[in-house]
Amino acid sequence: MRCDRWILAIVCVGLWCVAGCASLPPPAEVSRMMERVSNPPMTPPPGKSLVFFHRPLSPLKVYYTSGWDGTNFLTDLGNGHSTAYVCDPGRHIFTSRCVSQVAVVEANLLPDKTYDFVANLDYLPLRPVKRDSKHRAMIPNWMTNAIWVTRGPGAANYATTRQEMNNELIRDFTVGPKQSRLLHLAPEDCR
Counting beta carbons within 10 angstroms of the beta carbon of residue 4, is it exposed (0 to 12), middle (13 to 18) or buried (19 or more)? Answer: exposed
32-36, 45-49, 57-61, 102-106: lowest mean pLDDT where?
57-61
Average pLDDT (12-31) is 62
Distance CA 164, CA 70 (A): 11
Q: By the 8 A CB rule, do 72 and 44 touch?
A: no
Q: For residue 18, name the pLDDT band (cuts at 50, 70, 90).
A: very low
pLDDT on residue 26: 77
Q: For residue 19, name the pLDDT band (cuts at 50, 70, 90).
A: very low
Tell me which residue of 185, 79, 64 sits closest to 131, measured CA to CA: 185
**Residues 106-161: tens digit of each pLDDT:** 999 999 999 999 997 656 899 999 999 999 999 999 999 999 999 999 899 999 99
Whole-model pTM?
0.84
